[in-house]
Amino acid sequence: MAEGKKLGGAGLRGQVAGKTALSTVGVSGSGLTYRGYDVKDLAENCEFEEVAHLILKGALPTQAELDAYKTKLKGLRSLPQPLKEVLERIPADAHPMDVIRTGCSMLGNLEQEDTTVMGAFPTQEEAIDRMLACFPSIICYWYRFSHDGVRVEENTDDESIGAHFLHMLRGEKPNELHERVMNVSLILYAEHEFNASTFTARVCASTLSDIHSCITGAIGTLRGPLHGGANEAAMDMIEKFTSADHAEQEMMGMLERKEKIMGFGHAIYSTSDPRNAIIKEWSEKLAADVGDTVLYPVSVRCEEVMWREKKLFCNADFFHASAYHFMGIPTKLFTPIFVMSRLTGWAGHVMEQRADNRIIRPSAEYTGEDLRKVNPIAERG
């Protein structure tokens, strides 16, 4: 089981910045839990929509509740025409995280959350379900239009969000293995306490701003390579290695040059990220499925070298890189998939913050000049 590390120093490390009932991260003996359920248990036994229901509505659904929730989400997949027009104007070389950030923001203009009574938010759950249902459509609509000149059909009949995404991306329904891996992946990425992007969402929520602003800010924060962007950065690295031995040689050089190696280390976990073993197992299955003899052994060797040399372990992002690659997903869409999932955690935290709010406003230790007088401009320089 993953344990917490000794926390202190810069980056607000180790400081309790608020309360949550949504998840525990790195608590000794239980690596990661969502509302009291072990993430491993959830990944083995649930579909992503069940976990979304758990996070957003407070409990795992009954079969009837799950069926109704999936039917509701299926009915919310289509995009408003003005949003499609905006997506069609974004160039193919745009960063897909910027596309989903713009898409979320534009949706907030077209389908505004009701914030008329200060602090009431009567339509927040509707707005969240809508984003959950249509974020995959935003990503795929832009990707297929800008790369293939195709206006993708957003109203597929796929039962799950993961299958819906792959269907729009490829123009055909995914097989069972790929649908299952998408479910597992979306579950693993769904929630992680006060990580940087979630904290961004909570800070925004604490000003009583609207839900689309909270989520837009969180997307921008997840984009960075030290956070969600690490899955793409890890892929960019491992695809350059031609064999496990080559990977080891290059990694040793990077460590000697004190370069950061993406997909390794964690702000809270000390010896392992509990999500890694789960996605690694699925990556291995996918490698066997596609007959890979390079990328998976390369990834395993990277893991061995980092542990042997630095006692650094793979975080959730590292084996997601090879897993997504084996499913034929373009690297630049890896972090937007993270958004499709983490939206549930962000939104859960926004609702939790709103339910017991005080504006988040920490203090700073001043390191600047002592009090001084403004010189007349002619005397400066």
Q: Is 317 a catalytic residue?
A: yes
Separation CA 86–CA 328 (nearest Å): 27
Supply φ then ψ for residue 241, to 5 degrees: -90, 130
* Shortest Å distance, C-beta 267 to ligand OAA: 4
In the complex with ligand OAA, which residue's Cβ is closer, 25 or 163? 25
Does the protein bind ligand OAA through residue 192 (CB under 6 A)? yes
* Shortest Å distance, C-beta 334 to ligand OAA: 14
Which three-class secondary structure state does DSSP give residue 76? coil
Secondary element (H or E) of residue 49 = helix 48-57
In the complex with ligand 1VU, which residue's Cβ is closer, 56 or 262? 262
List Cβ neighbours of 31 (8 Å cut-off, separation of 6 or more).
1, 2, 25, 38, 39, 40, 269, 272, 273, 274
Q: Interaction with ligand OAA in 172-191: which residues (CB under 6 A)? A: none
Residue nearest to ligand 1VU (CB): 265
* Shortest Å distance, C-beta 315 to ligand OAA: 6
Residue 161 interacts, among ligand 1VU, ligand OAA, none and using kind-specific CB cut-offs from 5 to 8 Å, with none
In the complex with ligand 1VU, which residue's Cβ is closer, 226 or 288? 226
Selected binder of ligand OAA within 23, 146, 195, 216 (CB under 6 A)? 195
* Shortest Å distance, C-beta 144 to ligand OAA: 28
Selected binder of ligand OAA within 139, 140, 268, 340 (CB under 6 A)? 268
Please state, in angstroms and as integers, the Cα–Cα distance from residue 57 to each residue in 45, 52, 65, following that order: 19, 8, 11
Residue of 266, 320, 325, 349 marked catalytic = 266
In the complex with ligand 1VU, which residue's Cβ is closer, 61 or 265? 265
Tokens 């104007």 sit on residue:
89
In the complex with ligand OAA, which residue's Cβ is closer, 160 or 315? 315
In the complex with ligand OAA, which residue's Cβ is closer, 106 or 261? 261
What is the secondary structure of 270-308 as a DSSP string? SS--HHHHHHHHHHHHHHHHHT-SSHHHHHHHHHHHHHH
Supply φ then ψ for residue 101, to 5 degrees: -65, -45
Residue 265 interacts, among ligand 1VU, ligand OAA, none and using kind-specific CB cut-offs from 5 to 8 Å, with ligand 1VU
Cα–Cα–Cα angle for 214, 263, 353, rounded to 5 degrees:
20
Footprint on this chain of ligand 1VU (rule: CB under 6 A):
226-228, 230, 260-267, 312, 315-317
Which three-class secondary structure state does DSSP give residue 104? helix
Q: Interaction with ligand OAA in 288-317: which residues (CB under 6 A)? A: 315-316
Tokens 């229901």 sit on residue:
53
* Shortest Å distance, C-beta 40 to ligand OAA: 15
In the complex with ligand 1VU, which residue's Cβ is closer, 164 or 227? 227
Residue 263 interacts, among ligand OAA, ligand 1VU, none and using kind-specific CB cut-offs from 5 to 8 Å, with ligand 1VU
The answer to whether 46 touches 184, Cβ cutoff 8 Å, is no
Pair type for strands 37-38 and 23-27: unpaired
Q: Is 67 a catalytic residue?
A: no
* Shortest Å distance, C-beta 115 to ligand 1VU: 30
* Shortest Å distance, C-beta 26 to ligand 1VU: 12
* Total chain residues near ligand OAA (CB under 6 A): 7
In this structure, what is the dihedral angle of CA atoms 124, 127, 132, 137, given to the nearest 10 degrees?
Answer: -170
Residue of 317, 320, 325, 349 marked catalytic = 317
Q: Interaction with ligand OAA in 202-231: which residues (CB under 6 A)? A: none
The answer to whether 60 touches 50, Cβ cutoff 8 Å, is yes
Cα–chain-centroid distance for residue 227? Answer: 9
Selected binder of ligand OAA within 139, 163, 233, 267 (CB under 6 A)? 267
**DSSP H stretches of helix in 171-273:** 176-189, 196-206, 211-222, 230-238, 244-256
Catalytic residues: 266, 317
Which residue ranges make up the site for ligand OAA (CB under 6 A)? 25, 192, 195, 267-268, 315-316
